[in-house]
Amino acid sequence: MKTIEQLNLKGQRALIRVDFNVPLDEGIVDDNFRIRAALPTIKYCVEQGAAVVLMSHLGRPKGQVVQDLTMLPVAEELESLAKRAIVFSQDCVSDQAIGVSVGLEPGQIHLLENLRFYPGEESNDPEFSGKLAQHGTVYINDAFGTAHRAHASNVGVVSHFREKGIGFLMAKELEFLRDRLETPEKPFTVVLGGAKVAGKLELIRKLIAKADRLVIGGGMAFTFLKAQGAQVGRSLVDASLLDEAADILRIAESQGIEIFLPRDVAAAASLEKGVAWGVTPLDGLKADEMGVDIGPETCMEFAEALDGAATIFWNGPMGVFENPAYQTGTEMIMSVIASATSTGAVSIVGGGDSASAIEKLSDPRYFTHISTGGGASLELLSGNVLPALEVLA
């Protein structure tokens, strides 16, 4: 694959697939992390004398025009961040929108309307791809968050371009999620959390082949605990994966990997607001209670597991961090990883809810790399081929 610095951009129209799939709150961008992550690529193209056409999806309109999912709030946020005017088209493949792109002067930036307002985006329709291609003379993919999908804007469109490559964000994702974790500096500690085990099995198996310590928290921990015969009450358990979980623990133990699982938890009868909760040892968890965060003893043990690590990979919060009462474990993990990073450790955060937690509770600058892709990062780390990168090779 060519990187953006290998492309001739002067006088060209750079059609860039970005990932501006950001949360909105009453028509205002609530978290601009993904927009900020794309700015270096956009700025570079402008500095090289190119006009820029940006295309992205937002939400899941399922091929229909949904006004609540218009890209207009994104255009306004981008204008504020980039400190320059943004031309916005209320369509992505109309003759008018294509005409705007063709008429751009070097340095101008044009943002297209939501790609997923058309069913042709997700179905990778050739006609839709061809229309998108008319916006640019050079193609750049900087949308890692969608790289695991074979859509028109990141796969179908590519065949229409001779000059094509990846942007700075995509290159950085590959550097850390592929290259750095292929041969991580030791000791290597893996911290996994989040609600579900499903979808992470390949990732876990691949990482334990390299890890020195494996820390498992969040809702997914209870499937592993249940596999060990522990009392988990009404905590989230994927019964269909108990054998898989037990096998992973056996493999890790046979390879001499230190395994850390919760010893105590914050427990509640439900996740409804106002429900009383308390800290209890795992064996004290009542049959009608569920674990909603790791407890203080577990926090200390997990912190010790991170001590001295040269490389840290973290994916998934330690509890239901959206509720302030249940964010202590996630805050602790972030604080310890940030501290380790400040003393030289390489910290790689696997995107998704972990990135959201950092935006809410910490500062992205304290971590070496925070991925912009949830599903894409899991696929890449699991060793799977990403369609959007395969077509650029």
Catalytic residues: 34, 196, 352, 375
From CA 276, how far away is CA 36, in angstroms rounded?
39
* Secondary element (H or E) of residue 111: strand 109-111
Around Cβ 115, how many Cβ atoms within 10 Å?
25
Structure-block tokens of residue 226: 């249940």
* Torsion sign, CA atoms 271, 277, 279, 285: negative
353: closest CA among 185, 194, 238? 194
* Torsion sign, CA atoms 328, 350, 260, 280: positive
Parallel/antiparallel/unpaired status of strands 51-55 and 138-141: unpaired
Phi-psi domain of 253 (left: phi exceeds 0; alpha: psi -120 through 50; beta: other): alpha
* Secondary structure class of 93 (helix, strand, coil): coil
What lies within 8 Å, CB to CB, of 225 at 6+ separation is: 232, 261, 262, 282
From CA 16, how far away is CA 173, in angstroms rounded?
16
Contacts 24+ apart (CB under 8 A), 279-285: 282/225, 282/230, 282/231, 282/232, 283/230, 283/231, 285/231, 285/232, 285/233, 285/235
From CA 135, how far away is CA 95, in angstroms rounded?
10
221: closest CA among 205, 241, 202? 241
From CA 313, how far away is CA 212, in angstroms rounded?
12
Structure-block tokens of residue 197: 């085990």
